[in-house]
Chain A
Amino acid sequence: MSMIDVKDLHVHYGGIHALKGVSFSVNKGEIVSMVGANGAGKTTTLRAISGILQYKGTVSFDGETLGGTAPHRIVRRGIAHSPEGRGVFPNLTVMENLEMGAFIRSDRAEIQKDFEHCFELFPRLKERVRQLAGTLSGGEQQMLAMSRALMSRPKLLMLDEPSLGLAPLIVAQIFEIVKKVNAEGMTILLVEQNARMALEISHRAYVVETGKITLSGSGRELLSDARVIDSYLGGP
């Protein structure tokens, strides 16, 4: 059984039909990515799952439907969402941002362990624990956003454009960590414009175009699909 099952998802906002019946699923232990151009509806999909946007259609997570659940309750169900643009709290320190990631938890000793785990994944964060998050570089903010999402100990981690605006070297580092976190057992739903990077690390992927899923397959299949190469990978 899949961990999350999305069926016929429709989102309207401000008179725009942003999602026109999107269906997909993510199985436990997978990295699944949604690739597509800017404005295709990838971010909208994640925001709908998180309860930020209202939608029609069904989202089942762990066998229960999520429709109409407020965002702060979705996290408690086990879905963490690292939003587009990272959404770190600039006026809070790095440590405080991580504490907010663990807001729903009260198991202090385990939280402490997870802080350590984040610092193992991203040693640069450890050097900057007392620094305000707003003073971090873009790459560091992305690392913080991912770590913060992990701090809720989710079953499903949703990452929205982790590569956005970052230097290629940093992007490669971030994707390494995504793979590593997945290898530790985390199920990941990844939304990316950087199709090549995303497809290379994904078990399965969906191509989203103007509010619809137009292609799906394993990461490797899509990497060699002529349509994907033409539209998203910039030629042969």
Chain B
Amino acid sequence: MGADLQEFVQHVINGISLGSIYALIALGYTMVYGILQLINFAHSEVYMVGAFASYYAARFFDTKPGFATLVILLFISMTVCSILGVLIERLAYRPLRKAPKLNILITAIGVSLFLQYSAQIVFGADPKVFPTVLEDSTLVKWGEVELRSFDVAILGVGLVFMVGLHYLIHHTKIGKAMRAVSSNSTAASLMGIDINRIISTTFIIGSSLAGVGSVLVGMKYPKIDPLMGMLIGLKAFVAAVLGGIGNIYGAVLGGILMGLSEEMVVGYLSSTYRDAFAFGILILILFFRPAGLLGKASQEKV
């Protein structure tokens, strides 16, 4: 295998690994949008709080690098994020359920800023070094192509949660109820489905996936700060739009595409303009498919 091809394969691996993280976070945006038609701008801050929760947990328990630590930190981060997500919905969004959508959108931005600045007070504005979750090692070496422990962990964990989500959405009663609420919430309530419970469940799932993302990012890029959610949140949101917001497979596809394009731009063009290129691709795709790659223009039968 030529050196060029090996380099390319390496970029693909890195890109998919980064993309899985975007995908996990994008799922939270797309699921909440699917149920409430709301862009939950506070989602990126839920992710940030998840990173800090696992940072402090790791310090508190003085964890040693290893698989068990990964599992424990995932659990803690997911729990904290779920609670925060549900609280945000209860306190900020639910009272505005019948208000115009724009009011809720502005509230979401407000919650996002509130959490960013509260975190600067509580955690301090200086970046912190995330503890080592896994030892960095090369598991497979194939010519110049390396499969590192981080990337294997990210791909493995990402895959487990995405497959788990697919199972939940399509094969459990609560998952089907979530889809029913997303397609027609009034009709769903006539079936006996408690809409508020479904909305809370959606926030629990979306937020805990952001929690998963935060641990994976902390593991691979171990520097965290209260504003860390802004850019990654924006990219994950863009990934959700790119795939077709409201569609969970779109969020996964969009996330992977974002990761891949960013990695390819860095690898072959310019690392300075990585984000410009990534967002440029977004504009291009939406130009040809305004509803996103897997999004459908809504249709109604008379």
A interface residues, Cβ below 8 angstroms from B: 50, 52, 70-73, 75-76, 80-81, 83, 87-92, 96, 99-101, 103-104, 134, 136-138, 141, 148, 152, 165
Given the contacts A92-B179, A141-B301, A100 and B188 also touching, CB distance less than 8 Å: yes
B190 & A99 in contact (Cβ 8 Å cutoff): no
Given the contacts A72-B193, A152-B191, A165-B302, A87 and B186 also touching, CB distance less than 8 Å: yes
Residues on A with beta carbons closer than 8 Å to the beta carbon of B299: 90, 134
A89 & B187 in contact (Cβ 8 Å cutoff): yes
B177 & A87 in contact (Cβ 8 Å cutoff): no
Residues on B with beta carbons closer than 8 Å to the beta carbon of A75: 190-192
Min distance, Cβ B177 to any Cβ of chain A, angstroms: 7
B186 & A52 in contact (Cβ 8 Å cutoff): yes
B153 at the interface (CB under 8 A from A): no
Contacts A50-B190, A72-B192 supplied; 10 other A-B pairs, CB < 8 Å: A72-B193, A73-B192, A75-B190, A75-B192, A81-B190, A83-B186, A83-B190, A87-B190, A88-B187, A100-B191
Residues on B with beta carbons closer than 8 Å to the beta carbon of A100: 176-177, 180, 188, 191, 193
B178-207 interface mask toward A, CB cutoff 8 Å, 1 = contact, 0 = none? 011011101111111111000000000000
Min distance, Cβ A2 to any Cβ of chain B, angstroms: 22
Q: List 11 A-B contacts (CB under 8 A).
A: A52-B190, A72-B191, A72-B192, A83-B187, A87-B186, A89-B184, A96-B179, A99-B173, A104-B191, A104-B192, A136-B301
Bound-state Cα–Cα, A80 to B302, Å: 22
Min distance, Cβ B248 to any Cβ of chain A, angstroms: 11
B193 & A138 in contact (Cβ 8 Å cutoff): no
| Interface size of B in residues (CB-CB distance below 8 Å) | 21
Of B176, B184, B190, B194, the residue contacting A96 (CB under 8 A) is B176
B176 & A72 in contact (Cβ 8 Å cutoff): no
Q: In terms of DSSP, what is the predominant structure of the interface of chain B?
A: helix
A103 & B186 in contact (Cβ 8 Å cutoff): no
Min distance, Cβ A13 to any Cβ of chain B, angstroms: 12
A152 & B192 in contact (Cβ 8 Å cutoff): yes
B173 & A103 in contact (Cβ 8 Å cutoff): yes
B interface residues, Cβ below 8 angstroms from A: 173, 176-177, 179-180, 182-184, 186-195, 299, 301-302
The 6 closest A-B CB pairs, nearest first, are: A87-B187, A104-B192, A75-B192, A71-B189, A89-B183, A103-B191
Residues on A with beta carbons closer than 8 Å to the beta carbon of B194: 70, 72
A99 & B186 in contact (Cβ 8 Å cutoff): no
Residues on A with beta carbons closer than 8 Å to the beta carbon of B180: 89, 92, 96, 100
Min distance, Cβ A64 to any Cβ of chain B, angstroms: 17
Min distance, Cβ B98 to any Cβ of chain A, angstroms: 12
Residues on A with beta carbons closer than 8 Å to the beta carbon of B183: 89-92
B173 & A89 in contact (Cβ 8 Å cutoff): no
Bound-state Cα–Cα, A137 to B193, Å: 26
Min distance, Cβ A88 to any Cβ of chain B, angstroms: 8
Given the contacts A72-B193, A75-B190, A87-B190, A99 and B176 also touching, CB distance less than 8 Å: yes
Of B184, B190, B301, the residue contacting A138 (CB under 8 A) is B301
Bound-state Cα–Cα, A92 to B192, Å: 17
Using CB atoms, name the residue of chain A closest to B190. A81
Bound-state Cα–Cα, A50 to B193, Å: 13
Min distance, Cβ B187 to any Cβ of chain A, angstroms: 3
Residues on A with beta carbons closer than 8 Å to the beta carbon of B189: 52, 70-72
Interface centre among A50, A52, A72, A99 (most CB of B within 10 A): A72
Of B177, B179, B184, the residue contacting A103 (CB under 8 A) is B177
Residues on A with beta carbons closer than 8 Å to the beta carbon of B193: 72, 100, 103
Residues on B with beta carbons closer than 8 Å to the beta carbon of A72: 189, 191-195
Residues on A with beta carbons closer than 8 Å to the beta carbon of B301: 134, 136-138, 141
Bound-state Cα–Cα, A103 to B180, Å: 11
